[in-house]
Structure 1
């Protein structure tokens, strides 16, 4: 764990070292000339439609357009890219945002964009014939996760802690980075002993059978908004109207997905994936159920961050009283926050 924390600290230091330089270029240059940025660079997800992409398709972003520059499977990487100015907004697990903010990254979380509920959750699965039955059985085993230092790592360690494992025993549970699209195969081939699966990838794997859940984050923590979109503070300052349009549009899109018939949402997703022509498999879209955001219109609450601040304080990764939730997020740019 010390090695992972050191690596994360080094990565965050690199982010901060280049932030000042990146703030002088990219999106900010257009705003400096007197015009607010109307094109937002972002990273997407293969075979999936993000709330921001849905907002654009529904017309909720008005004259603000999105520019896709590639895909990511890592929330920490996505928000680091936003911090350095390589993209204009990024999304990640709220605990990862806390870590980045604790390193004095000049970012603000503006709207929740994913979470866990009874329909959309991350499950931690083992083969049906696996001898792993309890948290203690994971000692000495490998668990496949999409990235380190984010949602799955925090949830797994919370699960292990609540089930009585000591810090030394928790260190013996190895987390292995596996792309989500490969997790099921790695699990079935015995390359990992357990794997994190969510959304359509989880449901397709369950449809094929042969795996069973050890636990889920919804069972462990109940319904919660797990991640937020962040913007750089200098971007918000130079482009307040664009920030407001983006944040409000995402909030509206999340609510649209919640209030429309599921078939209508899936049809819209299929249309978006077809029109963007990225040579993707859209067959998984039929398994979509929800974004999992627990609040109306993506509104952020103190508890979305305080639970992870407390957890990181407990692990020693944060110094006590380093951060308060109000230091990390703002609903000021979400016009449908009320």
Structure 2
């Protein structure tokens, strides 16, 4: 099926106008502590007005895999996870499409691996046998550690990964319960607060390992997109526009984030450390964002060669007017 999406290769300036008879759809999702997804920001900015789209927050996800499980089971309509987790889920039989990059990693926005200042750990070569705190297993930080070890010619399972929620990462590191705390690119608020307190030292970040790339994706079920093509278009359009808004208006975005966190009963003070979403201008992906991880999964034997293709997974890209599925 070909979705008649208009080209989105340049910075979006308007959301496509829709008629008063636009289909009414409710998209349920799980939020992430300490941050706002681009579709949540789009809602705060009023970008869904006139589209018939309503967003409904059903609570929090501890990590991307939980979000994808909820999406596969029909509990939510929007999922969000690291690219590798999305691909594993699709390879496992879930018919998802990548709607837009939830975040990217670059020189301004990245996942940073911290140790205590007096730690004997100074780089990836020191990770074997060490305990690394990540927000969840099977997602971005997990695969970043594996890829970092592989790049250093070390066994990919040489480090011990344990799950620690984002708000507790700093605490467990300072208490000596873990050797390394990994603050994801989507956790810049928690990372900024920890860095401000002092006494920590970064040893590497994910751009050292992966380069500039989309870190994860917001995903939809393919059958939902086929049933609601106009709503799918408007959802991507508004979210991409919100990503551009955040890049151009960082201070205003931090103010919106602080207000949203306070309304959710979270600490609004961490909003000052939000560094942005790290995505390209235009808010849309390129095929390398997906293909890099397909190549990794094929190398590890987790998917068969040719089993997955980026063009079949991406709903729309920054240089394509339409996507055929």
The answer to whether the superposition gives a TM-score over 0.5 is yes
Contact 1:36 1:238 in 2 (8 A): no
Q: Secondary structure at the match of 2:282?
A: helix
1:87 aligns with 2:72: no
Q: Quick one: higher RCO (CA 8 Å, sep 6+), 1 or 2?
A: 2
Structure 2 counterpart of 1:267 = 255
Q: Tell me how far apart the structure 1 counterparts of residues 194 and 260 of structure 2 sit (CA, whole Å).
A: 24
1:324 aligns with 2:312: no
1:184 aligns with 2:173: no
TM superposition shift of 1:182: 0.6
What TM-score, normalized to structure 2? 0.86
TM superposition shift of 1:332: 7.6
1:52 aligns with 2:39: yes
Equivalent pairs, count: 297
TM superposition shift of 1:176: 0.4
Q: Deviations over 1:284-318 (max 9, x none)?
A: 0011111111x233212110111001111111111
What TM-score, normalized to structure 1? 0.83
Contact 1:244 1:334 in 2 (8 A): no
Higher helix share: 1
1:134 aligns with 2:123: yes
TM superposition shift of 1:321: 1.5
Structure 2 counterpart of 1:256 = 245
RMSD: 2.1
Q: Tell me how far apart the structure 2 counterparts of residues 82 and 333 of structure 1 sit (CA, whole Å).
A: 25
Structure 2 counterpart of 1:227 = 216
Q: Structure 1 pair 39/335, CA: closer, same or farther in 2 (3 Å)?
A: farther
Contact 2:123 2:204 in 1 (8 A): no
1:280 aligns with 2:266: yes
Q: Deviations over 1:29-88 (max 9, x none)?
A: xxxxxx945211111122322211110111111231111100112111112211221101
In structure 2, the gaps of 5 or more residues are: 1-21
Q: Segments of 4+ in structure 1 off by > 6 A?
A: 332-337
Q: Structure 1 pair 161/229, CA: closer, same or farther in 2 (3 Å)?
A: same
Q: Tell me how far apart the structure 2 counterparts of residues 128 and 333 of structure 1 sit (CA, whole Å).
A: 41
Q: Structure 1 pair 336/280, CA: closer, same or farther in 2 (3 Å)?
A: farther
Q: Secondary structure at the match of 1:171?
A: coil
TM superposition shift of 1:229: 0.9
Structure 1 counterpart of 2:10 = none
Matches within 5 A, 1:15-54: 36-54=23-41
Q: Deviations over 1:160-187 (max 9, x none)?
A: 111121x3xx333111011111111111
TM superposition shift of 1:211: 1.0
TM superposition shift of 1:135: 2.2
In structure 1, the gaps of 5 or more residues are: 1-34
Q: Secondary structure at the match of 2:122?
A: coil
| Larger mean Cα displacement after TM superposition, 84-93 or 41-50 | 41-50
TM superposition shift of 1:104: 2.2
Q: Structure 1 pair 84/36, CA: closer, same or farther in 2 (3 Å)?
A: farther
TM superposition shift of 1:333: 11
